[in-house]
Every structure is written in C-alpha cells, then in structure tokens.
Amino acid sequence: MAEAHEVDRAQWLEARLALLAKEKALTRLRDELAAERAAMPRLRIAKTYRFDTLEGEKSLADLFDGKSQLIVYHFMLAPGAAEPCKSCSFWAEQYDALRVHLPHRDTNLVCVSRAPLAEIEQVRARMGWRFPWVSSYGGDFNADFGVTFTPQQAGEALYNFGTQPARAGESPGLSVFLRDGGEVFHTYSAYSRGLDPLNGVYQLLDLTPRGRDEAALPWPMEWVRLKDRYE
C-alpha cells in the first residue's frame, strides 16, 4: 500500500476523481460479471440429498422453503469440532439481517454443515443466530460441492475449481441452486476469495485508509475472533 501524504483541497479532489474513474470502471465490470453469472448454464441435480433440520428430515428441494432460488453457505463445522470456524462465523454474523430481504427477491439462504444437528444447535444458541442451519451429516453433499476432503485427498484433490491444493477436512464455499418445476439445478459456486463480497465488515474496511491491515499478520483473518472471544 502506497504511503499517503498531506495535500490541499484541489490536489485531494484531483486524486479522488482519478480514483472515481477506476471505481466506475469496476462497477461496470461488476455489472457485466453479474449478467454473465446469471446466464451460467444449469446443471440438473439428479442425486438425492437429505438434511437434518429442526422440522425433521428435508430434501434439497425442501430447503428452498417455497422460493425458486436457494443460496447455500457451506459452514465449516465438522462432526465433533470443539469450536465453529471463526472465519465462517465472521461471515455468518450478517445472515440474519440479509434474510429479512432475500425472500422478497424469491430467494432463501441456508447454512449447511457436516456436524450433527445437535452440535449445530449448540453453536447457534451460543452465537444467538436465527438463520436456517441444517446438517448434512452422513451424506455426500459437502464433498460433492467441493468443500470437504478426506486425508487421502489432501494434496491430490484441488479446491476452488482446481486453483489450489485441497486440505483435509472442511473448506468454505457457497453454492446457488434454482428450482424450476419439480427439478433442482446447480447454477453457481464460489470459494476462497470469491466469498469476499458476502462480508460487510471487509467491504467497509476496504474504504478506510488502513484497509484490512492484515499484511503484517501471520495469515489474513488471524485477528478475527468468535464474537464472544474478543478481549
């Protein structure tokens, strides 16, 4: 990051207008990407997936809750995990607020983890979350959508559409589905830095002089804590 320096009002405005031109170009590119994303071909889901929920066992189609679009966040919580993933929790803090608005655009948002439902509910109660969070325990859902890898796969399988080596256990991701009549289709998935737009804290920090301020840390998000673990 370039070191900032003090200027007068005219110089500041000149710099801001130069940056604004780039921001506008990024906005136009983001709109183009959104249009291409919406036009992605559909992949029909032929496999049966079952999930444990507070209302009983449900299918993938049931998770739409009457909507035609479903966003699934693959929350990293393995069976028997001592703590929820702090990074996934960092993202999840916003989901209750988002879910107020998404149904009005025919969309449902659900988190899915491999942990049994009872373990999920312990975390939910601790964190005070209300968004739907279901268990895929014993099923292939997480593995099939590229967020769970066995120790044998680590170093051989590739995460994020082949862009980086997989690690054993859980990895973060998001998958989008469309329900058309009696069929369910997979339309989109994102992993790794592709999840950044979901995080409102990062979007706000990116507007500040120090930004995310993570360069000197052992790894990005090292500073993040579960909300009841901050000093």
* Host domain of residue 176: 43-198
Mean pLDDT along residues 136-147: 96
pLDDT recorded at residue 1: 60
* Domain-located, residue 184: yes
- Structure pTM? 0.93
Average pLDDT, whole number, for the chain?
A: 95
Show Cβ contacts of residue 180 under 8 Å, excluding neighbours closer than 6 positions. 42, 68
* Domain-located, residue 191: yes
* Domain-located, residue 54: yes
Q: How many domains does the chain have?
A: 1
pLDDT of 226 over the 80 cut: yes
Q: What is the largest CA-CA distance in the chain?
A: 64
3-state class (DSSP) for residue 89: helix
* Domain-located, residue 20: no
* Domain-located, residue 13: no
107: domain CATH number? Answer: 3.40.30.10
* Domain-located, residue 31: no
| 93-106 residue pLDDT tens | 999 999 999 999 99
Task: Please report which helix (H) or strand (E) contains residue 33, including its range.
Answer: helix 9-38
Which string of b and e fits 90-107 if b means at least 16 CB within 10 Å? bbbbebeeebeeeeeeeb
pLDDT recorded at residue 219: 94
* Domain-located, residue 214: no
| 10-58 residue pLDDT tens | 999 999 999 999 999 999 999 999 999 999 999 999 999 999 999 999 9
* Domain-located, residue 212: no
